[in-house]
Structure formats: structure tokens, C-alpha cells
Structure 1
Amino acid sequence: MQQQSLVEYGSRRVIITVTAIICALLEIVDTTIVNVALNDMRGNLGATMAEVGWVVTAYAIGNVIIVPMTSWLSQQFGRRNYFAASIVIFTICSFLCGNATGIWELVLFRFLQGLGGGALLVTSQTIITESYPPEKRGMAQAIYGLGVIVGPTLGPPLGGYIVVNHSWPYIFYINIPLGIIATLLTLQFVRSPKYAEKTAPRDIDWFGILFLAVAVGSLQYVLERGQEEDWFNNTSIIITTITAVFGLFFFIWRELTFRNPIVELRVLKNGNLRVGTILSFIMGVGLYGSTFIIPLYTQASLGWTAQQSGMLLVPAALMTAFMMPFIGRMIQKGVKQQFLVAGGMLMFFIYSFWGYKIMTPDTSKEAFFWMLLVRGIGMAMLFIPVTTLALSSLKGQQIGQGAAFTGMMRQLGGSFGVAGVTTFLAHRNMVHRSDLVSKLDVNDPDVQNRIAGLQHMFMAKGKAANDALKAGYQMLDYSVMKQAAVLSYMEAFLYLGVLFLLCIPFVLMVKGNKGKKVDLSEAMH
């Protein structure tokens, strides 16, 4: 059996596992590490805020285009060769990103880095799982899950530390030694399964590749840039939305009619995979949406540094790491995945509702601790069960195709989550601000006293009476803005939690393993 032959033992398995985790971490950490360095890049490269946003967008587009094709590319070039080539592309592009002298040069190299990085995630999952015997594959999935859940959390504090103590190019340069080590270890230790014959050049689904790139690339652009470009009031957003719709239509038509499709859509006939794909999307919304809100709230409203807000998420990531092996064991003992997923969603709702309750313009650091630990437990209960549920009834090559779908949907869910949260915050900010301003009556004695008090405070600091009054009004306006922002963050937290709560009944209706032990040899990718 092909999968059995790839099982490794002893130090060889340890080396392969470490190599694959390094690659998964490299890819995911690079998704979030740049966020805290965008300001420095903007100043250094003389770019506008809109231009520097492309550093994040280009990487995400490259990622999402390549993920669905990884199964086919592994077949074409052999898994080991494709994996090693992806690490090399990622590493070289990391060096070129650090050396970039202009913003568009950096954006181009980030896109190419994303193309190399997309393969690292899905392929490292395959390599880890197939290196373990069936009875230990729950543990393999738990080990891989650590990288996926912990990665986004490590990015901001690591990026903050590097930017504060060095300069922004070093957030890319740290990938180089790790990339070189991972490439050498891959070539030495990783083995490829025996695939069927390669596709002849004339049988390659070139149009499928083109339609896929156009569809997901355009969709990712709309999600990443929509809020900044004022959504459908902007011509480029309208054009890319139409392009995404037509690209998706032609891609589906091509894949269902071509004899040798680049992405096997028929695998979605499997009910469990369909459910798992939807759940992966929702998990992406929650994981990336909430990871996006917390640093934004702590930095903008509480005045924390990037490093402080990044460090806040570390205990939650450690809790996830601690819980993962237990969840893996529970699945192997026959605990229904649906119950674990429903439990994870309930934990996520509790975490969101807790966040909604504790958010104020001056919440203390200690208030977040237990709330974030609940998030850590919830994420551990979601990741492995969703993946095993999705892939549990697939066999052979279908496993790779199924994992590519769940991987892509998790990424797209993340993009939808961030885009949705950004738009929601901007809209609710305006609503809350006008609501708060309408309650401030200039003739109200309380308001007059507050302004007089602020005026006296600024006069005591040496300002003239007129300037002090102006500064007082500005300070009052700032406190209104701050309060409006906090109310918006609170609502965003609450609605994310409600989304997960509403999903619980549907999850419990899913048919899955009827209390029997799961053979994780086929349930994992």
C-alpha cells in the first residue's frame, strides 16, 4: 500500500516532522509578521498606506492561487522535488523582499513568495501524516495543527521585536537560514510516493490553471482591498468582482468537462468533505477575524506597542499546543468529531461573549488572560476534528485533493473574516460616533463643565485661552472617537461569537463516525 510504504521510524521520522513543521511555520508566520512592519516599510520605501497594503495582499493572492494545485503539481514533479523547489522559491524571494528598493518591487517578490509558500502548508501536512503509522496519525495531525494555529500568533510579536531592535528587511532575512536547512533536510530525508504517469504537456489543463488564477486572484483582491477602495463605489472593485464571478464559472465548467482536470471537483460529491470545507471556511473567519481584532483594539484603543499586543496572544497559542495531543487521542478513541467541533464552537462563542463584556477604553492586560485561554481550547477542539471529518471517508489521491480544498477554504475564510471585520468596524464607527455626538449638547451643564475643565488644564500648561479651548474640544472629540471604536470592537466580537453559536445545530446534524474508532491512515492528509 502506497501510504504504508512512506511510514518512517526513529530519528528519521523526527527529522521529517521537524522539517515539515519549520516549513508550515515559515509560511504562516510570514502571513502576519509583516503587519507590524508596514509603517516602517512605508516610510523607508516612500509609499502611501494604500500601496504598502499590497505587501499583504500580493502574498495572500499567491497563496490562494497555488493551494488548490498542490496535489496535481506534486504528481507532476514528485512530492519531494516539488516541496524542495517551493522552499527554494520561498527562501530566494525572502532575500529579494528584504533587498527591495521600491514598493512595487517588494510587492512582486511577495507575490512570488506566496506562490512558493502556498505549497509548504498543504504538502507539509501530507508529509507529516504519511510518515506516521495509522495508529499514531491523530498525533501527527495534532503536531501539524500546532503550526497552523500557533503561526498567526507568533507573527506580530516576532515582527514587533525585529522592527524595534533591527530594521524591517530582517523579518524576511530570518527565513533564509531556516529555508536552507529545510531544503537540505527535505532532499536528504523526504520520500515521494509512487504516482501514476505524469500528464503529457498536451493533456495539461492550461485553461483550468488560468481560470483558477483569475477567479481566486480577483476574489482575494476584492476581499483585501474592498474596504480601502470603498467597495462597489470603486471601478476596479466592480471589474475584479465581475472577473472573479466569470472566472469561477468558467473554471467550474472547465474542470467538470476536461478529461484531465487540474482540480478534481467531483471529490466534493463526498458529503463529509463538503461539510468539512464549509467548517474550514467558518474556522478561517473566526481564527483570522479574531486574531485581526485584538492587536487592532489593543494598539489603537489601549495604546499598546506591537510587541505587547502580539505577546498577549502567546498564552492562547500555548494552550492550543497543550490541548492538541489530547484532542488527537480522543478522536482515535472514537469520540465523535461532530461533538468536538460543536464543543469548540461553543468555546469560541464563550470567548467572544467574554471579550464583548470586558472591552472598555482602558481594559487591563490581566482581563484578557482567561478569555484568551478559552479561545486556545476552542481552536484546539476545532482544528483536528474539522480536518479529520472532512477527509475521513476519502481514499488514496482524493485525500490530497480534499486537503487542498479545506486549505484553500480556510485561507479564503480568513480573507472574508478580515474583510468583513474591517468593513463592519468602519461602518459601526461612523454610526456610534454620530450617536454619541448627538448626545453631547453644548448647552448641557455637564458638557460645559467638562470643556471648561479641559480648557483650564491646557491653560495651566501655558496655552492661550483660545488655543486651550480648541485643544479641549479636540480632546473631547478624541474621547468620543475612542468610545465609538470600542463599541464597534465589542459588537464585532459578539457577532463573530454568534456566527459560531448558530453553526452548532448544523454540525450536530452531520453524519460521521458512529462512535467507532477512526482509522487515521485515511482520515488525514
Structure 2
Amino acid sequence: MQNQADSLVEYGYRRVIITITAVLCALLEIVDTTIVNVALTNMRGSLGATLNDIAWVITAYAIANVIVIPMTSWLSQQFGRRNYFAVSIVVFTIASFLCGNATNIWELVFFRFIQGLGGGALLVTAQTIITESYPIEKRGMAQAIYGMGVIVGPTLGPPLGGYIVDNFSWPLIFYINIPIGIAATILTLTFVRSPKYSEKLKANQVDWWGILFLAAFIGSLQFVLEHGQQDDWFNDEMIVTLSIVSLLGLLAFIWRELVYKHPIVNLGVLKDGNLRIGSLLGFILGFGLYGSTLVIPIYTQSILGWTATDAGLLLIPGSITTAVMMPFVGRMIQKGVPQAYMVSAGFAIFFLFTSWMHNVMTPDTGVEHFYWPLIMRGIGLGLLFVPITTLSLSTLRGKEIGEGAAFTGMFRQLGGSFGVAIITTFITRLSQTHRVDLIPYVDPSRPEVQQRLQGMQANFMSKGFSANEALQKAQNMMELSVLKQSTVLAYMDIFWYLGLVFLCCIPIMFFVKRSKNKINPADAMH
């Protein structure tokens, strides 16, 4: 197995081209996960869709993504990694063109699902291709290069999407994938090589039941997470039904993979302790990465009144910080600095970032208040992504690398989905709680409240409104002020809870096998 892995190592210009191609494909996939967020309003207007309908543009892509990720290693073995990677790029590119040409909402949703099937494969296969193209002693650096794309991607989406929507039209956010996809396909077919797999299954050996159970489990879970809050969670019959389907799908899937001779997903790879820990940490990383990437633009737009482009641009300096850190972190791993130390430092720094954000949030927070906390976030993410990924894959070999990468990718995506669902739910619930707590402070019988209402009423009357109209407007302004303040308090709570989640992860580092960390983590693959 090891000789086969060594035979895939590339040198010189070939390795550079393969690395650029793989990172570009990973970046394409991740940017497309977030780029549509800021374009939903424009899509809704031009396609005549309702708010619930347009949410499916995100949901369909996410469901397809998370279904296909665990199957990528198996599909690579059946069709050859290079062929599978190239076909995935072609599917993604053609679906991007069809998304841009969609004439109604359900056409767009269908093509987004197809795009997600191609995109999910890009993420994990790119990681495996990069890992195997580098010699063992440089695999920490390989993960650092891959990590630059994965971490920067979610941040690039909103400002890029905002700029395109503000200056052009929404179909362009899909069309820009086409030239990149064509170039990536040509480079893949020219330079990427496939490992030789020992066997391919016949049609009657394929784990069709495993595929069905996996799709039922992941697809239903993703729908519940995406739509739970807007549909009032378990008060909605559809959410309850799909939650049951998801649970039964999970149990049936685990049973099937353990008893079937040719499983679609090799659960046996999870016997590796470092992969189990790495998958859990990847879940938390996805929770924090996608959760904070969601919260900050929503806060700046809904509370501070920023444009979509400005909200997206706010995240850029922190992402650049992460990208700059990646090679240094990769070099530290190569020199044998224990990943457990770096991951612990990353979690601690992320806790400091959330505490800082908790303290600077007001209804009037400016760019200058966000700048340094977000730089700190960038440093924390830099110390988390590469060490967690290399830790996860460090004790795997041969085709297990691809299988392990599929698990880390799936858990990171699921962590992001859980993070977004839980955070949006908490924002709604906490805002309502704080509003109830604040209402007594604006009781009209209080002298200071009467004084403020009279002042606002007089201001409206000076603009030509009658006394009754001016009083009504003053009361509405007061109500809006309470609503705004209660929402700010909810965001403050969210950052505090996020920080506690990261802080609680530090003790997990004690379960990492220290002996693996005294050397380059990739050396354990010998």
C-alpha cells in the first residue's frame, strides 16, 4: 500500500499544477455554498418565488453535497480517482450554466441539487489528491495549502456575490464557474493520476441499500436543520416525520455497512482513534467557521444597516490572516510541533475572539471595532484547520486516506449545518426573551419614558404630523428601539455560547495519542 501511495507523489511543475487545480476546485465548491446567500432577494424577485421556496436554493445544494461526500472514496475506487474528479467538475460546470439559465424557481432548485452532487465530490477528492501528491514529510504543508482554499472560501462568497448582484445580475454568480471549470477539467485529465485499485464491483454487488439509507439519513437531517427554525421545529408535522426518517435511516445505514461485504462507506476506518477525535473536532470547527460567517454579515446588515458588499468585505482581512498563517502552521507540523498544542491554542484564541465580539457589539458598532477581533478569529482558524486535518489522516494509509478525508469533510459540513440551524434558532428565541425582559423599562407610566416619548412626538409634529400621528410614530420608534436592543443582546449571547463550545474542546486534546505527535504526523503512515 505504501509503495502505491509513494508512486502518486509528484515533483516540480506537475505538483504545482495539480495543487493549483485541486485548490481551485475546492474553492469553487465552497464559494458556491455561500455566494448565493446575498443574491436570494434578487432571485426571488426575478423568479417570482416565495421566501420558503427560495430557501430551497441553499437547501438543495447542501443536501446533495452532504449525501455525496461520504461516498466519494467508494466512487473514486469504482471509476478511478482522476476520471471521477474530472466528471464531477464537468457536472458542476454544466449545472452552473443551467442554474444561470433557470426560468423558474424549481428549475433552479433542481439544477442546484445536481451542482451539489458534483461539488461535494470536489471537496474531498481534492484533499486526497493533494495529500497523495506530496511526499510524506511534506503532507502537513500539503494540508496547509488545501486549508487556505477551504477556510477562505466561505468568506469570499458573500462579498463576491454582493458585488456581482449590486453591479450585474444574479445569473453571473453561476456563469463565472464555467471558464474555471473548463480549465480545471483539462488540467485534471492532463496531470492527475489515479491509484490502482484492486477490484471494481459488478452492478449486482453495489451497495444500493447503503446508498438509499445514507441519502434518507443525511438528506432528511439536512432538511430538518435548514428548515427547522422557520417551520417551528417539532410543532411542524414535516419536521417530525423527517426527523424520524433521519434516525431510522442512520440506524439502517450503520447496520447495512457493518454486515454487507462491499459497503459504500467503510465504517471500519473509524476504529482509528485520531480519525474519531479529528472528525469530532472538524464538526466543532465547521460549527464555529460557518456559524460565525453567518452571524457577522446578518448582524451588520440587519442591525447596523450595511450593504451586502460591505458586510462581506468585513470578513476579508481575517481570511487573509488565516491564508498567510497556513504555510507557517504547515511548517510547524513538519518540524514536529504537536498538533494538540496548536489545536488547543486555536480553540483558546477563538474563545478570546468570541469574548471580544461579545463586548464590542452595540447598535452603533463600527468597522474599527470589528477589525482586530476578526484578525484574531483568522489566527484561531489557522491554528485549527491544518492540525485537525493532519491529525485526522495522520495514522491512515493507502485508500484509507480518501475514506478518512470523506469523514472529516462530512463532519465539517454537518457541523456547519448544525451551527447555522442552532444559531438562527437561538437568535430568534433569545431575541424574544430579551424583548420580554426589556418591555418593563419602556413602561409609559415611567417619567423618563414619558419625557422621551414627548420629545419624539414633538419632533414628528414639527415635521407636519398631527398630535395623534406623531404619538403613534414615537411609540413605533420606541418599539423598534426595544426590538433592536433585544436582538443585539441575542447576538452577544450567541458569541458567548460559541466561545464556551470552543473552550470545552480543549480537554479533548488529552485523548490524542501523544506518541503520534512527537514526530511529523504524516510519518505515522510509514
User: Shared fold (TM-score greater than 0.5)?
Assistant: yes
Q: Which moved more, 1:504-513 or 1:106-115?
A: 504-513
Say if 2:480 is the partner of 1:497. Answer: no
Amino acid at match of 1:483: Q
**For residues 213 and 523 of structure 2, what CA distance do their matches in structure 1 show?**
33
String of CA shifts for 1:450-472, please: whole Å, max 9, x gaps. Answer: 11111111122222222111111
Amino acid at match of 1:206: W
Give the match's secondary structure for 1:53.
Answer: helix
Give the match's secondary structure for 1:463.
Answer: coil
For residue 325 of structure 2, the aligned residue among 286, 299, 323 is: 323
> Quick one: structure 1 residues 105 and 514, their matched pair in 2 at CA, closer, same or farther if it must change by over 3 Å?
closer
CA contact (8 A) 2:390 2:521 kept: no
CA contact (8 A) 1:279 1:386 kept: yes
Q: What is the aligned partner in structure 1 of residue 448 from structure 2?
A: 446
**For residues 118 and 514 of structure 2, what CA distance do their matches in structure 1 show?**
35
String of CA shifts for 1:455-508, please: whole Å, max 9, x gaps. Answer: 111122222222111111111111111100000000000000011111111223
**For residues 460 and 50 of structure 1, what CA distance do their matches in structure 2 show?**
42
Amino acid at match of 1:175: N
For residue 17 of structure 1, the aligned residue among 16, 19, 36 is: 19
Q: CA deviation at 1:387?
A: 1.0
**For residues 242 and 377 of structure 1, what CA distance do their matches in structure 2 show?**
40
For residue 152 of structure 1, the aligned residue among 151, 154, 157 is: 154
Aligned positions of 1:288-327 closer than 5 A: 288-327=290-329
For residue 202 of structure 2, the aligned residue among 200, 203, 216 is: 200
For residue 26 of structure 1, the aligned residue among 25, 28, 31 is: 28
Q: What is the aligned partner in structure 2 of residue 218 from structure 1?
A: 220
Q: CA deviation at 1:137?
A: 1.8
Amino acid at match of 2:12: G
Q: What is the aligned partner in structure 2 of residue 460 from structure 1?
A: 462
For residue 165 of structure 1, the aligned residue among 167, 187, 190 is: 167
Give the match's secondary structure for 2:442.
Answer: coil
For residue 239 of structure 1, the aligned residue among 222, 238, 241 is: 241
Q: What is the aligned partner in structure 2 of residue 373 from structure 1?
A: 375
**For residues 486 and 141 of structure 2, what CA distance do their matches in structure 1 show?**
45
Amino acid at match of 1:68: P
> Quick one: structure 1 residues 68 and 184, their matched pair in 2 at CA, closer, same or farther if it must change by over 3 Å?
same
CA contact (8 A) 1:337 1:512 kept: no
Q: CA deviation at 1:523?
A: 6.0
TM-score (norm 2): 0.98
Aligned positions of 1:99-114 closer than 5 A: 99-114=101-116
Say if 2:279 is the partner of 1:277. Answer: yes
Amino acid at match of 1:325: P
**For residues 266 and 17 of structure 1, what CA distance do their matches in structure 2 show?**
29
Q: How many residues align?
A: 524
Amino acid at match of 1:488: A
Amino acid at match of 2:28: L
Q: What is the aligned partner in structure 2 of residue 188 from structure 1?
A: 190
String of CA shifts for 1:121-162, please: whole Å, max 9, x gaps. Answer: 001111112122222222111110001100000000000000
Give the % identical residues.
64
**For residues 396 and 70 of structure 2, what CA distance do their matches in structure 1 show?**
17
**For residues 287 and 185 of structure 1, what CA distance do their matches in structure 2 show?**
30
**For residues 10 and 397 of structure 1, what CA distance do their matches in structure 2 show?**
24
**For residues 420 and 479 of structure 2, what CA distance do their matches in structure 1 show?**
28
Q: What is the aligned partner in structure 1 of residue 177 from structure 2?
A: 175
Give the match's secondary structure for 2:262.
Answer: coil
Give the match's secondary structure for 2:110.
Answer: helix
String of CA shifts for 1:174-228, please: whole Å, max 9, x gaps. Answer: 1011111111111111111111121111111010011001100000000000001
Q: CA deviation at 1:31?
A: 0.4
**For residues 295 and 236 of structure 1, what CA distance do their matches in structure 2 show?**
30
CA contact (8 A) 2:395 2:522 kept: no
**For residues 501 and 209 of structure 1, what CA distance do their matches in structure 2 show?**
37
Give RMSD over aligned pairs.
1.2
4+ residue runs over 4 A deviation: 521-524
Q: CA deviation at 1:520?
A: 2.3
Q: CA deviation at 1:394?
A: 1.4
Amino acid at match of 2:166: V
Amino acid at match of 2:467: A
**For residues 435 and 394 of structure 2, what CA distance do their matches in structure 1 show?**
49
**For residues 340 and 431 of structure 1, what CA distance do their matches in structure 2 show?**
38
Q: Structure 1: 5+ residue runs without aligned partners?
A: none
